[in-house]
Structure 1
Amino acid sequence: MQTVRIGHLEIGEGRPCIIVPLTSSTLDGLMDEAMALADLPADLAEWRIDLLEGAVKDTPEGPMPDLVYILQVLAGLRTVLPVALLATFRTVEEGGFCPVSDAGYEALCRALCDSRNIALLDVEAFHRSGRASALIAYAHERRIPVVASWHDFHGTPNKDKIVGRLRFMQDELNADMLKAAVMPQSRADVLNLLSATEEMTANFADRPVITMSMGPLGVMSRVCGQSFGSAATFGSAGHASAPGQLDVEALDTVLSILDDASRN
């Protein structure tokens, strides 16, 4: 398994790492969230840029990110964050809160890489522009690891489709980490997601995989990654960025218990 190393953190080995989303819509709130991580068991922070008020502006070419403002905020975050940062702009099609044009999404991803103020970049593997591969290559040229992501907020596809999409992220896109989040309609859907994770990590993956089943039904999938192969999980510090996220301190406690039990 090829792990991803960010400073002292090695993703893909041992206990799943905890990623805490920064979700405030205001600059002051965002800075408060970032500083609060110093007292929380967070391994990484994820900045959900689409949630920031003023991050996107209307132009004749369509909704475009305000790159100057976003990069200013990013520079400020870098000065106060105690952990490394995953930068994410989640599009409306994949559960985000702010529409953006294809050109705007691509320009933002490139600008984030050029800033040198992020440790990881999220790229939507099936973005409507079809240019995920080019964006990932651009990030790699600047030595920025990429989390390729795919979300289904309506249901849980069959195991073969989940595995197939994860393999596409690895074999075709060459992302450094492979992320899939799906919405269960039954307990069987949660088992399906876990089974797909186990099959992918046991038979195909040569790099970290991150999977989760969302909502209340899928909570178990957020804590049992070490058993089924998921290398990271998301925990909230006040405001969840997706349905079913656990409080980060409770999540850390559960992960520690499971990790200790696995060593006995």
Structure 2
Amino acid sequence: MTVKIRNIVLGEGLPKIAVPNVGTTEKEILSSAKNIVVAKPDLMEWRIDYYDDGIKHHNNLISTAKKLREIVGELPILITFRTKNEGGVRELDEHHYLDLVEEVIKHRLGDAVDIELFHDELRVKELVKLAHNYNVVVIMSNHDFEKVPAKDVIEFRLKKMVQLGADIPKLACMPHSARDVLRLLEATNKVSQEIDNPLITMAMGDIGKVTRIAGQVFGSSLSFGAVGKTSAPGQLSIEDLRNAEKYLAL
């Protein structure tokens, strides 16, 4: 199965490339968006956890989102608030995080929304349903900055996301050895053959870079590349990703 996000299709052809926008002020966010458009990625991830003023005042978030759309045109936008536990830059309690995701969906600030797996299950299911009612694609995610979980745990989490209604399950983790990287790739390959959804996985850090460029071989459908500032350890530039994908094209 493929999933369409605005005008791109995940799950067919080369893995798509998303570029994070990690501006901390409206001026930075809009300036960064202009640079991202020039780089021609497939998708822009707007990391709203970096936008302090937008989180404190949701009307600012909504206003900036409108200006952002004017700049990027038809480029698909994924809205992500990454919680501190999962590698984000701002603390937000459970209640406020879930309410924020609801606001993002209801105001349709983007074409897709990131919803973290490990939150109140009932609310997560409600948010997925709400997103689908608003025609917003759900990327459900889990990030482990300490380790690569056991293979069966990786498989369980990715499948759990699908059970909760996610369109695209995503898992990123931190390897400490080549064996860790292999474990993630094996789990990715297995799950990609067992579910209908496109999925996203990556190992972080230098040792995990191979997973960012070899996704197509093992079943991952999207990679994150940087234009300027990176949002995760081991993230490559969009130019490096494009070049690597060309060599690995199946």
TM over 0.5: yes
| 1:82-122 Cα distance to aligned partner (Å, 9 max, x none) | 41100000011111111112222122111111223310000
Residue 129 of structure 1: how far off its partner (Å): 7.1
1:61 aligns to what? Answer: none
Q: Which amino acid aligns with 1:184?
A: P
1:236 aligns to what? Answer: 226
Quick one: which of 202, 206, 210 aligns to 2:200? 210
Quick one: which of 111, 122, 126 aligns to 1:134? 126
| 1:113-144 Cα distance to aligned partner (Å, 9 max, x none) | 12233100000011267622221111111111
Q: Which amino acid aligns with 1:42?
A: P
Quick one: which of 175, 178, 194 aligns to 1:184? 175
Q: Which amino acid aligns with 1:125?
A: L
Percent identity, aligned pairs only, is: 38
Runs of 5+ unmatched residues, structure 2: none
**What is the CA–CA distance in structure 1 between the aligned matches of 2:128 and 2:118, rounded to whole Å?**
12
**Helix, strand or coil: the match of 2:79?**
strand
**TM-score, length of structure 2 as denominator length:** 0.96
**What is the CA–CA distance in structure 2 between the aligned matches of 1:141 and 1:11, rounded to whole Å?**
20
Residue 75 of structure 1: how far off its partner (Å): 1.2
**What is the CA–CA distance in structure 2 between the aligned matches of 1:6 and 1:168, rounded to whole Å?**
22
**Helix, strand or coil: the match of 1:56?**
helix
Q: Is the 8 A contact 2:62 2:107 kept in 1?
A: yes
2:213 aligned with 1:223, yes or no? yes
1:53 aligns to what? Answer: 52
**Helix, strand or coil: the match of 2:225?**
strand
Q: How many residues align?
A: 249
Query: Once structures 1 and 2 are overlaid, which stretch shifts more, 47-56 or 207-216?
Result: 47-56
Runs of 5+ unmatched residues, structure 1: 58-65
**TM-score, length of structure 1 as denominator length:** 0.91
**What is the CA–CA distance in structure 2 between the aligned matches of 1:51 and 1:27, rounded to whole Å?**
11
**Helix, strand or coil: the match of 1:75?**
helix
Higher share of residues assigned helix:
2
2:114 aligned with 1:122, yes or no? yes
